[in-house]
Amino acid sequence: MPRFGRVLLKLSGEMLGGPDGHGLDQAAISRIAAEIASAAGNGVQIAVVPGAGNLCRGAGPNPSRLTVSRQKLDAMGMLATTINCIALADALEQAGIPAVHMTSLAGIPESIPFRHDLANKLLADGTVLVISGGTGLPFFSTDTAACVRGLQIGAAVVLKATQVDGVYDRDPRQRGARRLAKVSFERALRDRLAFMDQPALALAAEHGLPVLVFQGHGKGALAAGLMGRAKGSLVGNEQE
């Protein structure tokens, strides 16, 4: 049985870009869609917020090197998420799972405007939602958008798929870095643990929305996370 009934899955755009993390890779998209479909088939209600680092970096860490003003760069990033969502929604439909692309932006082909009441109805009916456009505002990353949408749909948890198997007390590449199975919001904010940007984490903390950080790369990893079976780190109100 799945651990969570309804989840908000935050995907990095690089996961859609395959081994090099750039552009769109059909094998990567098909794998992600198949694993989402597997979890949906087991009763998990899933909304997905992808980033766009495979196409264009806007708000958040590792910003683009383009000499474009910040607000325009963030607009480019929001538009890039729509490309990822169209590709992922199509792959889900090809995998036999009903999918709807909802967006915070106006006039995007192959999408409908995000409405929390409609989103909740679609999820309850077994439709997977892929949500683009971030918050629709500059200066906010897709991490923040994931927490906003998670709250709007009443998700039990935000699942953040990353390249590492959880939250560490320091850079996991450093010697002696220790993975934390449970992390309090207080510590995550105080120590500025770098798994999610601070505005997103503060929003999750304010509303008590747990965040589960897990390794989402490789065959079966994403499905395990969606089912609540992946080894990872749970960030929430509970103390370590």
**Domains of the chain, first to last:** 6-236 (3.40.1160.10)
Q: Using one digit for the tens of pLDDT, what is the confidence trace for 61-109? A: 566 677 889 899 999 999 999 999 999 999 999 999 999 999 999 999 9
Exposure string of 65-74, with b = 16+ CB inside 10 Å and e = fewer, is eeeeeeeebb
Closest residue by Cα to residue 8 from 113, 147, 124, 134: 147
**pTM check: above 0.85:** yes
Q: What's the pLDDT score for residue 240?
A: 47
Q: What's the pLDDT score for residue 175?
A: 84
Query: Could you tell me if 163 and 232 are in contact, meaning their C-beta atoms sit under 8 angstroms apart?
Result: no
The answer on pLDDT for 184 being more than 50 is yes
The shares of helix, strand and coil residues in the chain, as percent rounded to the nearest 5, are 40, 20, 40
Over range 228-235, report the average pLDDT. 92
Picking from 1-5, 60-64, 153-157, 159-163, which range would have the lowest pLDDT averaged per residue? 60-64
The answer on pLDDT for 202 being more than 70 is yes
CA 225 to chain centre: 12
Q: Using one digit for the tens of pLDDT, what is the confidence trace for 37-62? A: 999 999 999 999 999 999 987 655 56
Q: Using one digit for the tens of pLDDT, what is the confidence trace for 98-157? A: 999 999 999 999 999 999 999 999 999 999 999 999 999 999 999 999 999 999 999 999
